Structure 1
């Protein structure tokens, strides 16, 4: 088993300053809004970008000044970009051959890698005869055939349809085993399926980091809440829930913050119940947005997803007053410790 990754990537011209550690058999999902610095981190680890400062260390090897082709890093990007003039088998064998393996060894490693990701039957095919999902699994095999000490997965399923993504995720699960792996993704299902830990980047810095179930279930940054599909609100913990900074309270059956402390609360927007005169904090509707067959009602920091019929019956519109209640069983209250809170 290879050693872990310890990296400090500093690129002032892109306003990036990121510390990143990945254990020897760990997959870390790197998530964040566009422009947060994810691509910069990947490029620096792959050797495609020379950071202004910092260090990249893999096990006992310092890679900061090592050229990309000598780093032992495997990269799977959004596009497979297979060599069009080579068969699938020869595409996968290219890496071992380029690193000095003999033809017999390269063919063996190609066959083993293709079998590992379930596409051994495609060995003699030309790249232009493959589907998107097949081509991406071949790209994963190509990375595996070099036995990389670090695997970088840069949005590896973003260009695929839903059916192909499931097959590629299975191949990625095979590829990430036994080596430090960094997964850049905009797909929370992919993060849950593959990652042990999630690191959230915002504005070129780490906004929060933790086990996948913690970051997605109890987010502490604005992006993590959005990524997990939750609404994140701030306030002061009470004995029965949270007093919101903008007024009103939400009750909670699962509060872990001591009363009187600064606290966060998270809930899923489909659990919220808007009304004109019912329970819940009073707010002014700021926006109505279509959302996966529903209407997203934004009212200050509170959000509710309701059916079109409900929105119509309540005559909701920007500028109108509304009350938004959330069942206590659906609200989780916790302390905002261990991370910078990005609003």
Structure 2
């Protein structure tokens, strides 16, 4: 097993100042909105971006000024970018050959890496004859064949269809074993399947970090809540729930925060029920948005996902007052 990664990536011209700590054999998911600095971090760790400040350490090696080809870092990007004139096996063997391995050793490494990701039978194939998922698994094998001390996965399934993603995730689980791995993703399922911890970036800074369960189940940042598919609200704990900063109260069945303390609460939007005269805080409807066969009702900081027929019966329009009722057993209250 390789040593862990410690990195402090500082790129003032891009507004990025990020610290990362990944233990040996651990996988950290780096998530955040577009422009948050995720690609800058990946480029700096891979040695593709020369940085004047900060440091990158991998085990007992200082990689800060080491060029990309000598870092021992494997990179799997959104697209495989295989050499079109080489077979899959020769694509995978290219890395070992480039780092000084003889032809026989490179072929053995190639065969082993292709087998590890489940495409042992595709070595003779030309890249143009492979499906998207097959090509990406070959790209993962290419990274593995160099026996990297650090693995960088930069949105490795974002260009694939749903069926191919499942196959590639299985290959990635194999690839990340035994080495520190950084996963950049917009897919919460990918984070759950692969990562031990999640780091949330916004505007070039870390705004939240914790185990995958903590960040996705009890987020403290707006982005982490949206990434998890949850609605996050802020307020003050009461004996039975949370008094919202914008007025009104949500009851909670899972609640351990002492009354009077600042608190956060989350719920899934499908659990919320907009009503004209029921319970729940009163808010003005700010927007109605189609979403995965439902209608997303935004009412201030509160969100409810309802069926089209429910939205039609309520005859909701922007600017009208509505109550957002959320069952207590669907609301989790916790400390920031």
Q: TM-score range by the shorter chain?
A: over 0.9
Which residue number in structure 2 is paired with residue 295 of structure 1? 295
Where 1:164 maps in the other structure, the secondary structure is: helix
Instruction: Quote the Cα distance in structure 2 between the aligned partners of 1:240 and 1:206.
Output: 32
Match of 1:50 in 2: 50
**1:263 has 2:292 as partner:** no
Quote the RMSD (CA, aligned, Å): 0.5
Task: Report what 1:126 is aligned to.
Answer: 126
Aligned equivalent of 1:13: 13
Count of aligned positions? 336
How far apart are 1:50 and its partner, in Å?
A: 1.4
SS of 2:174's partner is helix
1:218 aligns with 2:218: yes
Q: Distance in 1 between matches of 2:52 and 2:107?
A: 40
Correspondence 1:195 to 2:195? yes
Deviation at 1:126, TM superposition (A): 0.7
Per the alignment, residue 86 of structure 2 pairs with 86
Secondary structure (helix, strand or coil) at the match of 1:297 reads strand
Q: Specify the alignment match of 2:278 in structure 1.
A: 278
User: Which residue in the other structure is 1:311 paired with?
Assistant: 311
- After TM superposition, list the pairs within 5 Å mapping 1:85-234 onto structure 2: 85-234=85-234
1:232 positional shift: 0.3
If the length of structure 2 is used for normalisation, what is the TM-score?
0.99
Q: Report the Cα distance in structure 2 between the residues aligned to 1:294 and 1:331, rounded to whole angstroms.
A: 21
Q: Deviations over 1:4-28 (max 9, x none)?
A: 0000000011100000000001000
- Residue 236 of structure 1 deviates from its aligned partner by 0.2
CA contact (8 A) 1:119 1:134 kept: yes
Q: Render the CA deviation track for 1:271-305: whole Å, top value 9, x for unaligned.
A: 00110011000110010000100000000000000
- Aligned equivalents of 2:60, 2:286: Cα separation in 1: 54
Q: Does 1:23 align with 2:27?
A: no
Give the Cα separation in 1 of the matches to 2:90 and 2:312. Answer: 60
Residue equivalent to 1:38: 38
SS of corresponding position for 1:136: helix
SS at match of 2:55: strand
- Contact preservation (8 Å) 1:12, 1:52: no
Find out whether 1:62 has 2:71 as its counterpart. Answer: no
**Structure 2: stretches of 5+ with no match in the other structure:** none
> How big is the shift at 1:52?
2.7
Report what 1:323 is aligned to.
323
Partner of 1:245: 245
Distance 2:133 2:56 in 1: 32
| Structure 1 residue ranges (4+ consecutive) displaced by more than 3 angstroms after TM superposition | none
SS of aligned partner of 1:8: strand
**CA offsets 1:146-167 (integer angstroms, 9 cap, x no match):** 0000000000000000010000
Residue 311 of structure 1 deviates from its aligned partner by 0.7
TM-score by length of 1: 0.97
Instruction: Kindly state the Cα deviation for residue 87 of structure 1 after the two structures are TM-superposed.
Output: 0.8
Instruction: Give me the whole-angstrom Cα distance separating, in 2, the residues matched to 1:125 and 1:309.
Output: 51
Task: Please list the CA deviations of residues 43-84 of structure 1 after superposition, one character each: whole Å capped at 9, or x if unmatched.
Answer: 000000012310000000000000000000000000100011
Contact persistence 1:32–1:38 (CA under 8 A): yes
1:256 CA drift (Å): 2.5
Matches of 2:201 and 2:116 in 1, distance apart? 32
Distance 2:240 2:324 in 1: 17
**Aligned equivalents of 1:298 and 1:171: distance in 2?**
39
Tell me how far 1:315 sits from its aligned partner.
1.1
| Structure 1 Cα separation of the partners of residues 201 and 257 of structure 2 | 25
Q: Distance in 1 between matches of 2:73 and 2:255?
A: 44
The unaligned stretches of length 5 or more in structure 1 are 337-343
